[in-house]
Amino acid sequence: METTPVSEDCCVKVAVHVRPLIVDEKLQGCNDCVTVSPGKPQVQIGTHSFTFDHVYGSTTGSPASSMFDECIVPLVNGLFQGYNATVLAYGQTGSGKTYTMGTGFEDGCHIGITPQVMNALFNKIDSLKHQIQFQLHVSFIEILKEEVHDLLDPTSPNKSDTASTGKVHVSGKPPIQIRESSNGVITLAGSTEVSVTTLKEIEACLEQGSLSRATGSTNMNNQSSLSHAIFTITLEQMPITGDGSTNDVMNEEYLCAKLHLVDLAGSERAKRRVHINKGLLALGNVISALGDEKKRKEGNHVPYRDSKLTRLLQDSLGGNSRTVMIACISLADINAEETLNTLKYANRARNIQNKPVVNR
C-alpha cells in the first residue's frame, strides 16, 4: 500500500437527476413542484433549497448528456490509476434510477451510465493495449432482504423462486458470502465472476443480469424496488516489457481496482419502520460518519458492518475510492414528500472526504 497525493476529485460528488413528468403523471394532472436554478447546481422544493455538485435534467438543469463526462469519466480514469470507485443511484421507486444506470436494453435515444462505462473502458483499453496487459472481470449481484444473490448464475437464469423461498438458491447454492482479506479487500465467495475480453461479452453480462433481475420481480411485488443491484467491474493491469512478456516478476506496476455501479432499492421504504431497508439506512449512516471529520478524528467507527450493502462497498466507499451519488427525483407534485427526503439524504453525502490510497 502506498499513499499518493490527494487529487481534487477524491471525494464524494453528489449529482441530482431530475426526470420530467411521465405520461401517467400528466394524465393525473400533476404539476411541477421542483425548481432548478438556471446555470447553478441548485434545487428548490417548497421553502427548501439545496446545492449539489451538479443538477441534470428539467429544462433549466445541465443537459443529462453531460452527466457521464462530468461525473463518471473521472472514475473510469481513476480505475486505470488503481482507485476503486462507486456510483450509487438513489431515489424513490419510479424516480429514474434504473433509467440512469442502464440495463443494456435501452433504445437509441438514451444510454445509461453502465453501458457508457463499458464503452469508455474498452476505448481506453484499446488505446493502451500495447503497453499494458489488462484483465477484466464482471460480477452482477442483487441484495434482497440482507441476502446476496447472483444475477449471473448460469444454473439459475430465472431466480424468481429464490426470493420467496429464502435461504437457498433454486440451484441449491447457499447465498453468497462477503469476505474481507487481511489487507481490507472485500470479495464475494460463491458469486459468478465472468472474465471478459470484448465489449460484446461485457454487454451480454449486463443484459443477462438485468433480465434475471426483471424476471425475479414478476413473482413478488415489484421486487426490484426492494433490492439493490450491483454491477461490479474489476480491472487488473500489468505492464508489458519491451520483449512482449508481462512484467509480473517485478510486480511493481501491478494495479487492481474495481468499479461498483449500484442501482439502489427504492428509498420510499427507508423511512417506513415496518419495511425499513437496512442497506439504505446503513448507507446513510456510513456516509454521514465518513463526512463528519470531527467524529472521525475522535475515532468513531464507520458502521460498514450494519448491512450487506455497506459491507460489500466497504473498500470502495470512503478510504481508497471515488464515489458519485446520483439522486434521482421526479418533478411531479405527487412525489414532493419523497423528493424532499431524497434531497435531504443526498445532502448528507456531500461532506465525505476520502483519503486516496492506491492498491498495489
Strands, E, within the chain: which ranges? 2-3, 12-19, 34-36, 42-45, 48-51, 54-57, 84-90, 132-144, 147-150, 177-180, 186-189, 194-196, 228-239, 255-263, 321-330, 357-358
* Cross-strand bridge partners of residue 133: 238
Site mask for ligand ADP (CB under 6 A), range 22-51, x = bound: x-----------------------------
The binder of 279, among ligand ADP, Mg ion, none, by C-beta within 5 to 8 A per type, is: none
Beta carbon of residue 57, minimum distance to ligand ADP (angstroms, whole number): 5
| Residue 242 among known ligand-binding residues | no
- Closer of 22 and 340 to ligand ADP (Cβ): 22
Half-sphere exposure of 76 (CA within 13 A, CB side): 19
Please say whether the beta carbons of 200 and 189 come within 8 A.
no
The conformational region for residue 197 under phi > 0 = left, psi -120 to 50 = alpha, else beta, is alpha
Angle between the N-to-C axes of helices 336-348 and 278-291, in degrees from 0 to 180, rounded to the nearest 10: 40
Beta carbon of residue 232, minimum distance to ligand ADP (angstroms, whole number): 19
DSSP state of 76: H
Please say whether the beta carbons of 112 and 101 come within 8 A.
yes
Count CB-CB contacts under 10 A for residue 315. 24
- Closer of 122 and 231 to ligand ADP (Cβ): 231
Residue 213 binds to ligand ADP (criterion: CB under 6 A)? no
| Residue 92 among known ligand-binding residues | yes
Residue 216 binds to ligand ADP (criterion: CB under 6 A)? no
For Mg ion, which residue has the nearest CB? 98
Residue 97 binds to ligand ADP (criterion: CB under 6 A)? yes
Residues 257-286 that bind ligand ADP (CB under 6 A): none
The binder of 328, among ligand ADP, Mg ion, none, by C-beta within 5 to 8 A per type, is: ligand ADP
- Closer of 107 and 298 to Mg ion (Cβ): 107
According to DSSP, the β-strands at 186-189 and 177-180 are: antiparallel
Residue 347: strand, helix, or coil? helix
- Closer of 97 and 258 to ligand ADP (Cβ): 97
For ligand ADP, which residue has the nearest CB? 96
Beta carbon of residue 96, minimum distance to Mg ion (angstroms, whole number): 8
The binder of 216, among Mg ion, ligand ADP, none, by C-beta within 5 to 8 A per type, is: none
Return all residues near 130 (Cβ < 8 A) that are at least 6 apart.
240
- Closer of 98 and 341 to Mg ion (Cβ): 98
Please say whether the beta carbons of 95 and 19 come within 8 A.
yes
Among 74, 78, 91, 356, binds ligand ADP (CB under 6 A): 91
Site mask for ligand ADP (CB under 6 A), range 47-86, x = bound: ----------x-----------------------------
DSSP state of 22: P
Among 84, 95, 232, 234, binds ligand ADP (CB under 6 A): 95
Summarize as ranges the residues that interact with ligand ADP (CB under 6 A): 19-20, 22, 57, 91, 93-99, 328
